[in-house]
């Protein structure tokens, strides 16, 4: 895995018009990184694992070029986001209270996207192919990070981005799967909590 300097991928030109997140320390850099990577890859069909409030969903929607209330400008662009089914007990999702969870997934996203519900590790994502890019930000442990990564790879994407590499098990899962995939280059974006993979040309 190669380390990449923040300003090599996150430039003033790429981040023009980006939505800035400041709700949690480090979010500004993380989501500017996500925005820039999507822009570089020129992706129009994207899947997010872990909708939560929808603040991140909004960043992704903006990055792929979706616009509010403009049907024709949005033609050919799709954003899907999956979250746990409504009414799921947060104590079951996060027994160690390691994360919060909103009552309504995606409530903060006012951009057009398609909300899905289910267990990301067992979900049939093939119904929504093609999926060119993924943002994996679901349950942060080895088992889920590994299974979510394997799910993403089934769509043969050009870009996969993972959040929260610093959490125990997440980085290990990514490396365990992606070091065996020789058709992808793996990168650690310095100054963020992101690891990303780009399909080799």
Confidence at residue 175, expressed as pLDDT on a 0 to 100 scale: 96
Residue 100 reports pLDDT greater than 90? no
pLDDT digits (tens, 9 = 90+) for 28-79: 999 999 999 999 999 999 999 999 999 999 999 999 999 887 766 777 899 9
Residue 97 reports pLDDT greater than 90? no
Confidence at residue 136, expressed as pLDDT on a 0 to 100 scale: 98
**% of the chain residues with pLDDT over 70:** 92
C-alpha closest to that of 10 among 158, 196, 137, 186:
196
- Residues 45 and 114: their CA atoms lie apart, in Å, by 11
Confidence at residue 69, expressed as pLDDT on a 0 to 100 scale: 72
Computed over every residue of the chain, the mean pLDDT equals: 91
Q: What is the CATH number of the domain that holds 93?
A: 3.40.50.150
Helix, strand, or coil (residue 75): coil
Q: Peptide bond preceding 72: is omega within 30 degrees of 0, i.e. cis?
A: no
Domain that holds residue 113: 2-199
Phi and psi of 150, rounded to 5°? -65, -35
Confidence at residue 93, expressed as pLDDT on a 0 to 100 scale: 62
CA 80 to mean position of chain CA atoms? 10
- Residues 104 and 102: their CA atoms lie apart, in Å, by 5
- The total of structural domains in the chain comes to 1
Confidence at residue 104, expressed as pLDDT on a 0 to 100 scale: 86
- Residues 7 and 5: their CA atoms lie apart, in Å, by 6
Q: What per-residue string of b and e applies to 58-79 under the rule 16 or more CB within 10 Å gives b?
A: bbbbbbbbbeeeeeeebeebbb
Residue 182 reports pLDDT greater than 90? no
Q: Band of the pLDDT at 127, cuts 50, 70, 90? A: very high
Helix, strand, or coil (residue 196): strand
């Amino acid at each position: 895995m190669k380390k990449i300097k923040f300003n090599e991928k996150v430039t003033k030109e790429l981040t023009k018009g980006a939505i800035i997140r400041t709700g949690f320390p480090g979010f500004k850099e993380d989501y500017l990184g996500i925005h820039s990577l999507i822009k570089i890859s020129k992706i129009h069909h994207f899947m997010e694992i872990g909708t939560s409030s929808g603040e991140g969903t909004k960043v992704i929607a903006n990055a792929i070029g979706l616009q509010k209330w403009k049907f024709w400008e949005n033609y050919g662009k799709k954003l899907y986001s999956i979250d746990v089914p409504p009414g799921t007990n947060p104590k079951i999702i996060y027994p160690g209270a390691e994360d919060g969870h909103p009552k309504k997934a995606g409530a903060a996203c006012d951009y057009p996207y398609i909300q899905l519900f289910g267990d990301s590790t067992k979900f049939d994502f093939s119904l929504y192919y093609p999926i060119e890019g993924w943002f994996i930000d679901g349950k942060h442990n080895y088992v889920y990070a590994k299974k979510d990564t394997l799910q993403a790879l089934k769509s043969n994407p050009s870009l996969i981005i993972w959040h929260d590499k610093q959490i125990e098990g997440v980085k290990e899962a990514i490396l365990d799967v992606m070091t065996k995939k020789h058709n992808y280059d793996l990168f650690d974006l310095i100054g963020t909590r992101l690891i990303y993979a780009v399909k080799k040309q």
